[in-house]
Chains A and B, each alone.
Chain A
Amino acid sequence: GAVVSQHPSRVICKSGTSVKIECRSLDFQATTMFWYRQFPKQSLMLMATSNEGSKATYEQGVEKDKFLINHASLTLSTLTVTSAHPEDSSFYICSAKIEYGYTFGSGTRLTVV
């Protein structure tokens, strides 16, 4: 139980375009979703926390206008990387809070060329 499905797993986009990443909770309602970024050989860095029906809370240093987060329903949260640049290339992972811990999506490898 408590599965989060994340899509796409890999995406390559051109510099200046936008990319949307989706995370769906399949068998539970995710009132809170977390979005992380992970650089190679490094740990996860929390970017933002989203609660269903309200605006996301961004961590210090994360550009709100660049990383748009929408959590319009209890089963779907999306992260849109707007006007992507090569430095946005990274591994993005979503996570949902569950009763006694957290469950994670499988991640999205974004490459901006």
Chain B
Amino acid sequence: KQEVTQIPAALSVPEGENLVLNCSFTDSAIYNLQWFRQDPGKGLTSLLLIQSSQREQTSGRLNASLDKSSGRSTLYIAASQPGDSATYLCAVRNNQGGKLIFGQGTELSVKP
């Protein structure tokens, strides 16, 4: 059974810092992995999606990497801003028609 874990559960950093969020999964046979952002009381916004054949994806200040063999993904945020404060969720899909399995999320707070 696939399980997804995110560390840390919460993170507080000063503005301008670069930071890394971690996601691990127990079954390396995934179809893809997706990182989402959730603002309080809101739905999810997709940030980056990495297919199983890819090693990383980049969008602006965000970079997500995937190491299937070790069951890990990281989300790197460069030059963090207060507007980046939110909960970040990673989710894996085991096969093309499969459901998303979510981690518990990392609650990020960027202090001005």
Chain A residues at the B interface, C-beta cutoff of 8 Å: 6, 34, 41-44, 46, 49, 91, 93, 95, 100-107, 109
Contact = CB atoms under 8 A, between A and B. Distances in A.
- 4 interchain residue pairs of minimum CB distance: A104-B44, A106-B43, A104-B43, A43-B102
16 contacts: A34-B99, A41-B107, A42-B104, A43-B104, A44-B44, A44-B89, A46-B99, A91-B41, A93-B44, A100-B32, A101-B32, A101-B34, A101-B46, A104-B44, A105-B43, A107-B42
Interface of B: 32, 34, 36, 41-46, 49, 89, 99-100, 102-105, 107
A6 B89 contact: no
Contacts of B49: 100-101
Contacts of A46: 99-100
A63 to B, nearest CB: 19
Nearest to B36: A104
A103 to B, nearest CB: 7
B105 A43 contact: yes
Contacts of A95: 44, 100
A42 B43 CA distance: 14
A107 B41 contact: yes
A102 B42 contact: no
A102 B41 contact: no
Contacts of A42: 104
Q: Which of A34, A42, A102, A106 has the most CB of B within 10 A?
A: A102
